[in-house]
Structure 1
Amino acid sequence: MTTFKSTHHTARKRMVIKLGGSTLEGLNEEFFVNFKKLQDEGVELIITHGGGPAINRELAARQVESHALNGIRVTSEAAIDIVQSTLIGKVNPALVHELTTAGIAVVGLNGFDGQLIEANFLDKDVYGFVGEVKAVNTSLLEKMISAGLVPVIACVGASTDGQALNINGDTVASEIALAIGADSLLLVTDVKGIRINDEYQTEVTPSLIERWIKEEHIYGGMIPKVQGAMDCLNAGIPSVQIVGDTLVGTTILSEELVR
């Protein structure tokens, strides 16, 4: 397996787009039109996705309890089986079908495929079967991109001994963006960006985000989104955005760019 962190950007523009679970179930024609436009403009695209609502339905149907802690789903041994089967067996194929129908050449993947996402336990005592990304098989993604395909990746990682691990979707997106040297990262949610005092923000900085987290204006699932975004900025990804299905929303800028 070839794994490395890219230290340079490719000549062509690369973008990682993360689709949140609730967003997946409400994608409209405008999203596919905008997505196809990006592809037609020569942007190399990778999609990652979660599947929270679908997982919640399956957990409820099987009477398996689950809750979130710090924006991360605490995942028991029973729950990880449901997460794995739902994301890989249902959500990923459905999204692949929608994109294919919209005329976009895609291939569905998950962490087990070609050891795409190697993961370790984040903290088994606290979160259960939740992983953190250890390595990304960038050579596999490069081959897909070179073939003109858009990788569509379910956020399930695999440990070295083959254990499936649930990984926060925003974390997967940011780690993949870093690994392939993406020029931009779009975190697509069911809201139109970061909202403070009922007003959506067009541009924000890490210092503002940190202040808003302390003041609890930013909370819950938005915390790993903004933290992953800031990690990407710090690592050198030029543009990180939290957007709605129109692919327009809040751009997070490094402090240097606004001085």
Structure 2
Amino acid sequence: MTTFKSTHPTARKKIVIKLGGSTLEGLTKAFYSNFKDLQQKGFDIIITHGGGPAINKELEKQHISSTVLNGIRVTSEEAIEVVKTTLIGKVNPGLVSELNQAGIKAIGLNGFDGLLLESEFLDLNTYGFVGKVKNVNTQLIETLCDNGIVPVIACVGATTDGQALNINGDTVASEVALALNAASLLLVTDVSGIRIEGEYQKEATPSLIDQWIQEGYIYGGMIPKVQGALQVMNSGLSSVQIVDERLIGTAILSE
């Protein structure tokens, strides 16, 4: 398990934890106890989440086709409504409820709340209603953390004129971590980090990651994960880890 030393800092440090949609089903009490441990060690926790499996199920139910390009869901006008209602109306309150039952005070948020994730179109012609984050309302997050409440952020952005945009979950986590100058970013997925030739790697560097992408070992949904990790490290975040539900996985280190 990833560990953090308890140093009783004068200002509470922040850890952003991104939960992939595939990991949300079947999370155990032991998993949530990790969050409690981090809080007791003086860390504020901010959670972001996706909901791919739930979205896929609803799209199929409504006979709406969906494709993935470069690890990003191409999102039509019909699909963005499904993404919005599924993440905000089902996945987010379900996760908040589980956290509250585990004794962790949590509140659900999305890009519309206080313009938390002010966004714009990534590339309308290529990806449809997919966004990129222009600004994060850090004051809202700070206020909740100061009151002992864990923000749980669904990966739905909002333009200034109120258009919902689907944003890759790893991208949201990275942008939030950067905006908060977080101590660490944990990308929780259904695999134990980066796997090369059948073996999970305990550590990786930017040059190795570039090499593995070129060689085809890193592909699909793992690409935006590692790209987001490299982006936040290049911008000054010192610790990014791709981990499983035990918080065990690959630590990405600077060269």
TM-score norm. by structure 1 comes to 0.94
Which AA in structure 2 matches 1:232? Answer: V
Task: Quote how far apart the aligned CAs of 1:28 are.
Answer: 1.7
Say yes or no: does 1:218 pair with 2:218.
Answer: yes
Say yes or no: does 1:13 pair with 2:13.
Answer: yes
Aligned to 1:102: 102
Aligned to 1:59: 59
Task: Quote how far apart the aligned CAs of 1:27 are.
Answer: 1.0
Task: Quote how far apart the aligned CAs of 1:40 are.
Answer: 1.5
Task: Quote how far apart the aligned CAs of 1:242 are.
Answer: 0.1
For 2:26 and 2:190, how far apart are their aligned partners in 1?
Answer: 9
Number of residues of Structure 1 aligned to a counterpart in Structure 2: 247
Alignment map for 1:53-202 (pairs within 5 Å): 53-202=53-202
More displaced stretch, 112-121 vs 27-36: 27-36
Task: Quote how far apart the aligned CAs of 1:42 are.
Answer: 1.3
Aligned to 1:4: none
Work out the percentage of aligned pairs sharing the same amino acid. 68
CA deviation string 1:127-157 (max 9, x = no partner): 0000000101111111111111100000000
For 1:45 and 1:32, how far apart are their aligned partners in 2?
Answer: 12
CA 1:114–1:18: 2 relative to 1, 3 Å: same
Runs (5+) with no aligned partner, structure 1: 1-8
CA deviation string 1:44-82 (max 9, x = no partner): 110000000000000000000001000000000000000
Aligned to 2:206: 206
Aligned to 1:5: none
Which AA in structure 1 matches 2:20? Answer: G
Task: Quote how far apart the aligned CAs of 1:26 are.
Answer: 2.5
Aligned to 2:5: none
TM-score norm. by structure 2 comes to 0.95
Task: Quote how far apart the aligned CAs of 1:182 are.
Answer: 0.2
CA contact (8 A) 2:64 2:79 kept: yes
CA contact (8 A) 1:48 1:153 kept: yes
More displaced stretch, 114-123 vs 36-45: 36-45
CA contact (8 A) 1:10 1:181 kept: no
Aligned to 1:242: 242
Say yes or no: does 1:38 pair with 2:38.
Answer: yes
Instruction: Give the secondary-structure state (helix, strand or coil) at the position aligned to 1:18.
Output: strand
Which AA in structure 2 matches 1:197? Answer: E
Task: Quote how far apart the aligned CAs of 1:226 are.
Answer: 0.2
Which AA in structure 2 matches 1:131? Answer: G
Report the RMSD for the aligned CA atoms in angstroms. Answer: 1.1
Which AA in structure 2 matches 1:215? Answer: E
Instruction: Give the secondary-structure state (helix, strand or coil) at the position aligned to 1:44.
Output: strand
Instruction: Give the secondary-structure state (helix, strand or coil) at the position aligned to 2:191.
Output: coil
Instruction: Give the secondary-structure state (helix, strand or coil) at the position aligned to 1:46.
Output: strand
CA contact (8 A) 2:205 2:252 kept: yes
CA contact (8 A) 2:35 2:45 kept: no
For 1:43 and 1:248, how far apart are their aligned partners in 2?
Answer: 19
- Divergent runs of 4+, >3 A: none
Which AA in structure 2 matches 1:109? Answer: L
Task: Quote how far apart the aligned CAs of 1:10 are.
Answer: 8.3
For 2:56 and 2:28, how far apart are their aligned partners in 1?
Answer: 22
For 1:112 and 1:247, how far apart are their aligned partners in 2?
Answer: 30
Instruction: Give the secondary-structure state (helix, strand or coil) at the position aligned to 2:165.
Output: strand
Instruction: Give the secondary-structure state (helix, strand or coil) at the position aligned to 1:193.
Output: coil
CA contact (8 A) 2:195 2:201 kept: yes
For 1:13 and 1:201, how far apart are their aligned partners in 2?
Answer: 27
